Amino acid sequence: MSDVQKQVQIAIDQLVESGAETGVQVAVYREGRLVVDAVAGAADAETGRPITSSTPVFSTSTGKGVTSTVVHVLAERGVLGYDTPIVDLWPEFGAHGKQAATVRHALTHSTGVPGLPVDTTPEDLCDWEKMCAAIADAEPWWEPGTKTGYHAQSFGYIIGEIVRRATGLPISQVLREEVAGPLGVADELFFGVPESELGRLARLDEPASDFEMTADMLEGIPFFKVVHGYTAAPMAALPDAAYGNRADVLMSDIPAGGTMSARAVARMYAALLGEVDGVRLVSPERLREITSVAMTGLDEVAGFPGTKALGYNIGFPSLNASPAPTVFGMAGSGGTAAYADTATGVAFALTKNRVSAGEFTTVEQIGEIVKNSLTD
């Protein structure tokens, strides 16, 4: 057992023993080789079923990095281009002045459609045609390409429908055939999870809290603002533990998030960086293109500055982290994250089933161990 594996294992064991976490997975690849594969705790706190390296965990926006990777694999094959107008594939999207929006704009959260109808429910999110129709008919919050703002849920439908129109296949099938299957992780990396696999998934939980957001508080948070009857965060469909345990949500293609093991998504990022057991997802030239800064500045929805590559955030998933221009990836609202570093050849993923809304303490702690161990 390597020193970094030991350090990570000790740390996540302590997190579970302390009650801070229920179940945790950590996987790290370096230059195409798995160097950390550590798990601790339970996949289901009620039954005590242990979490394993192959247990899929619903991981909210960490899945956006997977969604973007599907697009890059298709671009590598010439199926679509980043500057392809979305209306060339999906004509209805051009309504209300959105006809100039491109695939690049979709990847950089700059199409101007960051929201969904304010009364959207989880049942609505499971209805692909309904959500795509609502997004196509939406009035843009800004002229496409002129600003960026986090497309929390709409990102998945916009990218997913681009993929469906370009290939004739749902994005879950394209993920399986073009990414997960070739990498040997088709049973650990999903958008819509087959019903037969639901029993393998981790069950999410969250700490009890008496804290409630008042209407006045919500009004002061850009993420919850309502424009033209749309909001980035429909209150009835926020991704808490109950949402992430719903069978209908898990089985549906909602590719703003995904269900994955840390090992599977770390392997995907490793295969973006280079070859993994004979599989490389994109060329070195495309890797440079997709990990370069594409947009920077104030995020109109999140309310703070950010830097985006093509479908990934640049830097570590912490506002307190030092600048890391060679790191790209995505983090999820429950405290999960997956990213890679083009400078070191390291791909890192951490998934967990304790939903710690907006907090990345565990990711930061374990990420620091990995960084210090593999870059010294």
Residue numbers annotated as active site = 61
Contact 252, 192 (CB under 8 A): yes
Strands (E), 122-213: 189-190
Give the whole-angstrom CA distance, residue 164 versus residue 169: 5
DSSP 230-269: EESS-GGG---HHHHT-HHHHHS--TTS-EE-HHHHHHHH
Give the whole-angstrom CA distance, residue 128 versus residue 162: 13
Q: 3-state DSSP call for residue 72?
A: helix
DSSP 116: E
Reading the block at residue 146, the tokens are 């002129």
**Sign of the four-CA dihedral 8, 9, 14, 19:** positive
Of 354, 350, 286, 303, the closest CA to residue 68 belongs to 286
- β-sheet bridge partners, residue 34: 29
Of 358, 301, 367, the closest CA to residue 333 belongs to 358
Q: What are phi and psi of 332, to 5 degrees?
A: -110, 150
Is residue 337 exposed (0-12), middle (13-18) or buried (19+ Cβ within 10 Å)? buried
Reading the block at residue 222, the tokens are 């850009």
Is residue 181 exposed (0-12), middle (13-18) or buried (19+ Cβ within 10 Å)? middle
Of 67, 257, 268, the closest CA to residue 162 belongs to 67
Q: 3-state DSSP call for residue 216?
A: helix
Length of the chain: 376
